[in-house]
Structure 1
Amino acid sequence: MNPIQLRQSIRDMLNEDIGAGDITTESLVEANQQSSAVLLAKQSGVIAGLPIVAQVFQELDPLLDFQSQVAEGQKVDSFQTIAVLSGSTKAILTAERVALNLLQRMSGIATLTRQLVDQLEGLDCRVLDTRKTTPGLRPFEKYAVRMGGGTNHRFGLSHGVMIKDNHIAFAGSMQKAVEKVRQRAGHMVQIEVEADTLEQVKEALSLPIHALLLDNMNINDLRKAVAMIDGKVWAEASGGITPETIRAIAETGVNAVSVGYLTHSATALDISLDFVEEGTENNA
């Protein structure tokens, strides 16, 4: 991630939580007090975000020592220590909730992504994310997908052309939509078109495109679509993809499956911060 953007995002998150000051911590903790704490995974999963979390704490205490005990993207067991930190007690307490929110969210996404990637073992098919991300958290959530073994789709609207059903309806036809985009974007920009039917697949293959999004097709139609495409363009399936259906969909021969719920419905991984010094434990 862009380090300038990352630091600004962290500052915005801390500012949202701290506001005019951490009344509780400032009332109870001396300014020069130092403490040590551990980050503990309270359930098994894939860890993502430790370097980012380190920066959250170090934004309030630049001298804080943060030692990761596991690698990014590593699977961990329940009650496994994933990091050890030591520094200003006030900084640890004040940054705790922002740090945990990020780490739990990102690790939940990485865990879900890994589950789907594992479902496709042995197949030449990628698991893609989408733009269905939490506003303001897209860089963090797409990073978590990568740590889970997935692949990022376009980051935003400026990172590639995807002509969907509403675009086609507005332009008047698929051909007109592709022609208008090509005239404006130039020959270097890749174009992906959404197709809901085999008739649309046939039409799309007659146009100068690079990829097809096969949306909400049943398994039989997906197989037929892949046969029609025959490697001419990139084939991506989306819609109705679950852990129970993803393997069968991938086995149709598509190059990738895009899964929105990787980021919009992932459950946060349960992670706690526990002080190792007497009288300073806090998990609120």
Structure 2
Amino acid sequence: MSFSNVPDMILEPMIRNALIEDLGSYGDVTTRAVIPSETTYTARLNARTDAIVSGMQVARIAFHLVDATLEIETHISDGQPCKAGETLMTITGSAASILSGERVALNFAGRLTGIATKTAAFVAETKGTNARVTCTRKTTPSLRLVEKLAVLHGGGFNHRFSLSDAILIKDNHIAAAGGVRNVLEATKAHASHMMAVEIEVDRLDQLVEVLEVGGASVVLLDNMDNAMLSKAVALVDGCMKTEASGNVTRDRIASIAATGVDYISSGALTHSAGSVDLGLDF
């Protein structure tokens, strides 16, 4: 199973909770008051701007959780580009049901399309290099799964999903444990052979110590300028994967990729992506 095809049942609890939050304790009182129950319509989910689409699976689930009888056709799939004015999805059936699910579906789709679009812009800047653009754990609480899915839709890659996925030794771990050598020796003594190990450094002397001690397969080069990144890549000389992080902007990412790093991670893909303007038109 590829991550871009997550089973609906995994996503449903998250979407159900969002619907419960929006519908409140008594449901959609406005729609119930003004729309006769037998009224049917076809609504179109339209893009207001050019974008990379994400959240269509989530929107479909949202509408079907409100009313499983709604007929839904997706015209532009997750991960595909769209132009302003294009219809992404049509929903046919009970007007009341469509209106009751509208806001949750649009909130998810707009937010996730924003992440996919921002990711695609970052990825485009690395064209011609081997660098992969990855997200981080700087995601909206409870929405990490779909936000990381949106990064994939934008052509990026995923970093850890949780603290249990891999060992990532950060600067505070090093400080609390008493140095680079201490954390790496402890990791070699206690970590499972199945667990990947990455360690963060922000100075070249730390990197030299990491290479001397061993025990990590990836080094995170944190907040280094491009000249230092190039020196770090040369020091590593292919014996570990290199990841650049910190101060990663769209204006700078091409020059970071040119240093030869394997990965470039950016929390901005998720925490600073704006929502794309989508509308549901009857």
Task: Name the residue aligned to 2:190.
Answer: 184
Task: Name the residue aligned to 2:14.
Answer: 9
The CA deviation at 1:85 is 1.1
* C-alpha RMSD of the superposition: 1.0
The question of 1:260 aligning with 2:264 is answered no
The CA deviation at 1:272 is 0.2
Task: Name the residue aligned to 1:269.
Answer: 276
Partner-residue secondary structure (3-state), 1:96: helix
Partner-residue secondary structure (3-state), 1:37: strand
Task: Name the residue aligned to 2:36.
Answer: 30
Q: In structure 2, do the counterparts of structure 1 residues 188 and 201 end up closer, same or farther at CA, with 3 Å as the change threshold?
A: same
Q: Which amino acid aligns with 1:145?
A: V
- Alignment partners' CA distance in 2, 1:134 and 1:246: 23
After superposition, the C-alpha distances for 1:6-43 in whole angstroms (9 at most, x for unaligned) are 11111100000101211111111122321110011001
- Alignment partners' CA distance in 1, 2:7 and 2:84: 32
Q: Which amino acid aligns with 2:100?
A: T
- Alignment partners' CA distance in 1, 2:7 and 2:73: 22
- Alignment partners' CA distance in 2, 1:58 and 1:187: 43
- Alignment partners' CA distance in 2, 1:5 and 1:176: 40
Structure 2 gaps of 5+ residues are 1-5
TM-score for both structures, normalised by structure 1 = 0.95
Matches within 5 A, 1:50-69: 50-69=56-75
Matches within 5 A, 1:195-210: 195-206=201-212, 207-210=214-217
The CA deviation at 1:153 is 0.5
Match of residue 93, structure 1, among 96, 99, 115: 99
Q: Which amino acid aligns with 2:231?
A: K
Matches within 5 A, 1:1-284: 1=6, 3-20=8-25, 21-206=27-212, 207-275=214-282
- Alignment partners' CA distance in 2, 1:183 and 1:272: 55
Q: In structure 2, do the counterparts of structure 1 residues 184 and 159 end up closer, same or farther at CA, with 3 Å as the change threshold?
A: same
The CA deviation at 1:60 is 1.0
Task: Name the residue aligned to 1:279.
Answer: none
Q: In structure 2, do the counterparts of structure 1 residues 2 and 157 end up closer, same or farther at CA, with 3 Å as the change threshold?
A: farther
Structure 1 gaps of 5+ residues are 276-284
8 Å CA contact 2:119–2:151 kept in 1: the answer is yes
Q: Percent identity?
A: 42
Aligned residues: 275
The CA deviation at 1:2 is 5.2
Task: Name the residue aligned to 1:282.
Answer: none
Q: Which amino acid aligns with 1:201?
A: L
After superposition, the C-alpha distances for 1:154-182 in whole angstroms (9 at most, x for unaligned) are 11101111000000011111121122233
TM-score for both structures, normalised by structure 2 = 0.95
- Alignment partners' CA distance in 1, 2:180 and 2:86: 53
- Alignment partners' CA distance in 1, 2:186 and 2:8: 36
8 Å CA contact 2:8–2:61 kept in 1: the answer is no
